[in-house]
């Protein structure tokens, strides 16, 4: 009996312990489920947790998204580390961004939202992105389809080069816009070199900002073809700038047709098809075209801006000055003073330098052809292409020959009055090919297999591979007599020799460059007798000098307040033009491993 009572007490203790253990387990499960619900609202995985995040939440720092460590702690718990592979998320982002607000803040009435991969007056302009007009409801719906909202946010990063104030504003605005629909953003702006090398080139970003340059539709291949992803770059496969890691067989097919077709109408149609594909895939979101702005004294007439680089002297033959009624116009010497922020180191076009150097050297040096804004080659020194050698066996699939025979114009002269010959052209190309120091990112001179003078006005060029832009290789020509015994890359340090509308008269280093009209120029005679370029790195000083009348014309920054101030002046004029460089939001589709 005594034994039975002891056993009974033991059983009661075991039962009590079992009940207590069950209660404890239920409590633990309840806490876990509660925690899981809280994590679920944050869009986080319930499979893992860290001591850091729990400590942050219990210390009242939950959702402190201004804390970098905490933001990444939350971001790293997301189940889908490749969330941008979901097109619904990409479209949600595009609809959520108020691009007009960005443009209005940066450029005001001088800018507009860009809905194409080309500026608005380009023949390749196609508004494929106009479907992404700001629509927060559409943005929320697309994000909801992907499984996220304000209660269950998605965490992403955006980056740009930190030395751009305009891009800082853009990233701030995008962060605000995306926050409204439930996408939390961390901004990781870096200096331009680090941003490119560590992030963009290696695909180590999610959202990014930079500018693209698209003067013609052939340039799109380097940005979007699946063979142009950065790791695929080789000596033969150059310019691999598909930093989006974008791959679409349909897009590749259209790009292949673009490259192989020389018909302008076909290119326009194919370009529109391609832009529609890219827009539908929501890989890049164009924001706006970069603008060029020039301020000038209203006594100057007929100024035009080159959309390629903002050069306001490219049409110098048309530029004129309002005549002073008090003076005899026959004896009036017309001169203008141009202000530049940076003095060129040398005027040699093959030595990388500031872009303004090309404005000056372009008045002195000419080539066989030049490009207009539609990408057409306009002959300058060339009379005609005499023949396309149709008898050679080695041709491209499109039938374009590898050998061309070119005839130069008659009565074309260097600035000293001596004739320009085919031998000068041949000597220039051979000098470029033999000098390894020559830097020309746009010219593949190795593609010239052979170049030979036929006589003084005709020469032939044989290419290894036919490319539509082969005429780019002849954008500079120099006299044969100057090239003998000289490396072309080390020439023209203190002077330069050419056949353009002007020639160098004087260069006072650190002060000014003075050009005078070339009387032997083959084209229309310029109305301006001389052009003086003065240099000062302080743009405010240059603007004030312009206001005082001591400078006649200069490029100004695309600063909204400054542009509005200039345009309201009775003595000064302002010209603003969209360029071929455009800002965009980029999405990286490179797969990321856990």
- Looking up residue 253, the CATH number of its domain turns out to be 3.10.105.10
Residue 299: inside a domain: no
**Residues 224-234, mean pLDDT to the nearest whole number:** 95
Q: Is the pLDDT of residue 99 over 50?
A: yes
The number of distinct structural domains making up the chain is 1
Task: Kindly indicate the confidence band of residue 15, based on its pLDDT and cuts at 50, 70 and 90.
Answer: very low
**Residues 462-481, mean pLDDT to the nearest whole number:** 90
Residue 380: inside a domain: no
pLDDT in tens, 318-358: 999 987 666 655 657 899 999 999 898 888 888 766 666 78
Choice among 26-35, 120-129, 476-485 with the minimum mean pLDDT = 26-35
Range of the domain at 88: 83-290+582-587
pLDDT for res 531: 97
Number of C-beta neighbours around residue 29 at 10 A: 10
Question: Is the Cβ–Cβ distance between 204 and 193 less than 8 Å?
Answer: no
Task: Kindly indicate the confidence band of residue 28, based on its pLDDT and cuts at 50, 70 and 90.
Answer: very low
CA nearest to 536, candidates 308, 337, 301, 303: 337
**Encoding tokens for residue 229?**
């992803």
Task: Kindly indicate the confidence band of residue 477, based on its pLDDT and cuts at 50, 70 and 90.
Answer: very high
Residue 257: inside a domain: yes
Over 223-251, what HEC string results? Answer: HHCHHHCHHHCCCCCCCCCCCCCCCCHHH
**Residues 527-554, mean pLDDT to the nearest whole number:** 96
DSSP annotation of 28 reads H
> Percent of the chain scored above 90 by pLDDT?
64
Residue 225: inside a domain: yes
SS3 for 1?
A: coil
Residue 348: inside a domain: no
Residue 13: inside a domain: no
CA distance linking residue 151 with residue 139, whole number of Å: 15
**Pairing of the two strands 553-556 and 284-297:** antiparallel
Residues in the chain: 594
pLDDT in tens, 183-227: 999 999 889 889 999 999 999 999 999 999 988 888 899 999 999
CA distance linking residue 514 with residue 563, whole number of Å: 28
**Encoding tokens for residue 8?**
């009974």
**Pairing of the two strands 530-535 and 382-388:** unpaired
**Pairing of the two strands 553-556 and 335-340:** parallel
CA distance linking residue 411 with residue 417, whole number of Å: 10
Choice among 102-111, 112-121, 429-438 with the minimum mean pLDDT = 429-438
CA distance linking residue 301 with residue 425, whole number of Å: 35
Residue 514: inside a domain: no
Residue 106: inside a domain: yes
């Amino acid at each position: 009996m005594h034994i039975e009572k002891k056993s009974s007490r033991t059983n009661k203790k075991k039962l009590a312990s079992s009940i207590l253990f069950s209660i404890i387990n239920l409590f633990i499960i309840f806490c876990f489920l509660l925690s899981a619900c809280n994590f679920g609202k944050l869009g986080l995985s319930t499979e893992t947790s860290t001591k850091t995040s729990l400590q942050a939440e219990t210390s009242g720092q939950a959702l402190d998204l201004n804390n970098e460590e905490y933001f990444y702690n939350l971001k790293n718990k997301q189940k889908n580390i490749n969330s941008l592979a979901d097109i619904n998320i990409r479209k949600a982002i595009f609809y959520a961004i108020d691009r007009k607000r960005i443009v209005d803040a940066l450029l005001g009435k001088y800018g507009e939202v860009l809905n194409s991969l080309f500026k608005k007056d380009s023949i390749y302009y196609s508004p494929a992105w106009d479907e992404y007009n700001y629509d927060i409801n559409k943005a929320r719906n697309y994000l909801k389809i992907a499984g996220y909202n304000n209660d269950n946010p998605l965490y992403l990063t955006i980056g740009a080069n930190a030395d751009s104030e305009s891009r800082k504003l853009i990233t701030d605005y995008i962060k605000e816009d995306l926050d409204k629909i439930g996408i939390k953003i961390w901004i990781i702006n870096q200096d331009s070199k680090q941003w490119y090398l560590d992030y963009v080139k290696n695909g180590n970003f999610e959202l990014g900002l930079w500018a693209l340059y698209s003067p013609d539709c052939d340039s799109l291949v380097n940005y979007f073809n699946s063979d142009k992803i950065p790791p695929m770059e080789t000596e033969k496969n150059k310019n691999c700038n598909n930093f989006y890691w974008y791959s679409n067989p349909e897009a590749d097919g259209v790009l292949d047709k673009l490259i192989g077709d020389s018909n302008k109408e076909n290119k326009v149609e194919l370009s529109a098809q391609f832009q529609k594909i890219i827009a539908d895939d929501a890989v890049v979101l164009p924001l706006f075209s970069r603008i060029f702005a020039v301020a000038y004294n209203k006594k100057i007439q007929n100024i035009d801006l080159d959309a390629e680089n903002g050069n306001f002297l490219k049409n110098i033959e048309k530029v004129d000055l309002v005549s002073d009624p008090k003076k005899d116009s026959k004896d009036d010497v017309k001169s203008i003073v141009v202000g530049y922020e940076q003095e060129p180191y040398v005027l040699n076009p093959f030595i990388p330098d500031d872009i303004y150097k090309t404005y000056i050297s372009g008045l002195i040096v000419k080539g066989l052809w030049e490009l207009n804004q539609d990408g057409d080659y306009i002959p300058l020194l060339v009379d005609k292409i005499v023949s396309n050698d149709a008898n050679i066996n080695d041709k491209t699939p499109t039938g374009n020959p590898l050998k061309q025979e070119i005839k130069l114009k008659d009565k074309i002269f260097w600035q000293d009055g001596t004739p320009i010959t085919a031998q000068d052209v041949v000597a220039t190309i051979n000098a470029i090919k033999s000098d390894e120091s020559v830097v020309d990112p746009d010219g593949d001179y190795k593609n010239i297999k052979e170049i030979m003078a036929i006589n003084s006005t005709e020469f032939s060029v044989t290419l290894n591979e036919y490319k539509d832009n082969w005429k780019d290789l002849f954008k500079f020509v120099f006299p044969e007599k100057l090239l003998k015994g000289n490396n072309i890359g080390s020439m023209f340090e203190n002077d330069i020799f050419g056949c353009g509308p002007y020639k160098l008269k004087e260069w006072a280093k650190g002060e000014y460059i003075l050009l005078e009209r070339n009387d032997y120029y083959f084209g229309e005679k310029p109305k301006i007798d001389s052009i003086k370029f003065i240099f000062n790195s302080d743009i405010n000083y240059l603007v004030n000098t312009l206001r005082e009348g001591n400078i006649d014309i200069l490029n100004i920054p695309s600063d909204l307040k400054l542009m509005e101030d200039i345009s309201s002046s009775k003595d000064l004029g302002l010209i603003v033009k969209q360029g071929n460089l455009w800002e965009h939001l980029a999405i990286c589709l490179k797969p990321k491993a856990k």
